[in-house]
Amino acid sequence: MDPAPDSAPTPGVTMPPLASILRIQKALEEQGIDNVVGGSGLLASLGLVAEVHDWDLVVDAEPAVVEQLLEELELPHRRKARSGIFRTDAAIEVDAGDHSIDVLVGFALDSAEGIIRIPARAGGRWSGLQNAHPEDWEQAYRLLGREAQALLLADHLAGRWSPRQDSNL
Provide the pLDDT for residue 7: 46
pLDDT in tens, 123-153: 999 999 999 999 999 999 999 999 999 999 9
Using pLDDT thresholds of 50, 70 and 90, give the confidence band for residue 160. confident
pLDDT above 50 (res 34): yes
3-state secondary structure the chain: CCCCCCCCCCCCCECCCCHHHHHHHHHHHHCCCEEEEEHHHHHHHCCCCCECCCEEEEEECCHHHHHHHHHHCCCCEEEECCCCCECCCEEEEEECCCCEEEEEECCEEEECCEEEECCCCEEEEECCEEEECHHHHHHHHHHCCCHHHHHHHHHHHCCCCCCCCCCCC
User: CATH: 3.30.460.40, 3.90.260.10, 3.50.50.60, 2.60.40.10. Which one for 19-157?
Assistant: 3.30.460.40
Give this prediction's pTM: 0.88
pLDDT of residue 10: 65
Residue 44 has pLDDT above 60, yes or no: yes
Question: How do residues 60-100 score in pLDDT, each as one tens digit?
Answer: 999 999 999 999 999 999 999 988 999 999 999 999 999 99
Domain segments of the chain: what residues?
19-157
* Best-predicted range by mean pLDDT (11-15, 79-83, 103-107): 103-107
